[in-house]
Amino acid sequence: MAFSERVRQILSWYSSDNPGILTNLARMLNHGVLAGTGKLVILPVDQGFEHGPHRSFAPNPPAYDPEYHFQLAIDAGCNAYAAPLGFLEAGAAKFAGEIPLILKLNSSDSLAKLADPAPAVTASVKDAVRLGCVAVGYTIYPASGARNTMYEALREIVLEAKSHGLPTVVWSYPRGNGISKEGEQAVDVVAYAAQLAAQMGAHMIKVKPPKENIEQAEAKKVYEKYNIPIKTLADRVRNVVQSAFNGHRIVIFSGGEAKDSQAILEEIKSIRDGGSFGSIIGRNSFQRPKDEALKLLRDVMNIYKARA
């Protein structure tokens, strides 16, 4: 399809990157139902590693099969499908070229209960090239005592991925001893997480929807002094997007914990109204029966399409 002006504008923000990066960003932006709108809906399925098979797939048993998720992303018209190495290897050949793939390079299991979590690197940039991926994904945990190790590893991954023309998608999820549990989604912390990912070279940033509380005392003074609006979810999303180079980096928001369809769609409307580039929705889609999942994903896409 012909490039839209919106896609051209977004690509112009990455002018220091090579043609391979820009081409692969364009492949995601120009794929699926939202092609050309500058918005994205991505299906991520890393929960089997992160939370275990039964917590992840028992609600919808066909989802134990890796091929199920490829087909769900394709049938829904998603912009891309993201997963760890094992799931992508199980279907990349069969579905080659049908859906842009993002290889998640690190993951953290829930068997170890650590105060300062640190995900393990479980795949490589070379794996992503071998599997025909359009991007790599990497998780950082700002506020963890192990954060600097993650940051340093991320910087090397970004550089290696760039040498192969692959963008990097960063899951920036604050957690660890540095903040409270409630602080993980505090608006100031989520905004900080987006800024950190952008500073380390992320081309696309995934964060959680921010809540109204402010975790850092120093940040609270600034929010109050300058009357920064955070009352509504749209206000808070706008604040987070602004924090990623004034909206010049693609910021998408996770679907969060399982909830009913109406609650998801209301949340998506607020996220859209705040200027989000899209959503990345995992368990709220693949834990539903396929027909319900397809309807939900299409409803989400239509919300973004209505204001694109």
Catalytic residue numbers read 173, 206
Euclidean distance between CA atoms 89 and 130, whole angstroms? 10
Looking at this protein, which amino acid is placed at residue 15?
Answer: S
Euclidean distance between CA atoms 134 and 40, whole angstroms? 14
Name 136's bridge partners: 103, 168
User: What is the DSSP track for 24-42?
Assistant: HHHHHHTSSTTTTTT-EEE
Judge contact between 37 and 308, C-beta under 8 A: yes
Give the tokens for residue 196: 């950190």
Give the tokens for residue 4: 């839209």
Judge contact between 110 and 52, C-beta under 8 A: yes
Give the tokens for residue 306: 């209505």
Q: What angle do CA 294, 104, 157 make, to 5 degrees?
A: 145
Q: Phi and psi of 177, rounded to 5°? A: -65, -20
Q: Phi and psi of 209, rounded to 5°? A: -60, 125
Judge contact between 34 and 280, C-beta under 8 A: no
3-state secondary structure of 7: helix
Euclidean distance between CA atoms 208 and 172, whole angstroms? 8
Q: Phi and psi of 83, rounded to 5°? A: -165, 165
Euclidean distance between CA atoms 103 and 126, whole angstroms? 10
